[in-house]
Amino acid sequence: MQFSAFTRAGNVLTLDVRSEIRAARYKAICKDMDQAVNELGRVRLVLVMRHYPSFNSAEDFYDDLRFLRIYDHAIDKVAVVCDRFWKDTWVGIFSLFSGIRMDFFEMTQVDEVTRWIQSD
């Protein structure tokens, strides 16, 4: 099954974020997460943050990714892929509050993302 907010390969769901996650998209993400968790149990996420203009503060990051807190019981790990490596600190802060294993990767690190998200 293909989830509308995500692309899927096994238990790895990828979400491409190019702008602020507004209410309608947030609702679709939660609906798709419900379906994925019901079907798969636990999932791994790759969040690709491309040219994300409102990604200017830790608060924006946390607000747009708040769905991770709702589903943290069903998420094994999250790879955040972004244009700039300086967002690493925010990923670390978010993972402290969510309890989810997270790591940050630059856009050029496709092989590293794949290895990390698939590893135990």
Return the number of other C-beta atoms located less than 10 Å from residue 106's C-beta.
Answer: 15
pLDDT in tens, 25-46: 899 999 999 999 999 999 999 9
pTM equals 0.84
Compute the mean pLDDT over every residue in the chain, rounded to the nearest whole number. 83
The mean pLDDT of 6-35, rounded to a whole number, is 90
**Cα 84 from Cα 68, distance rounded (Å):** 21
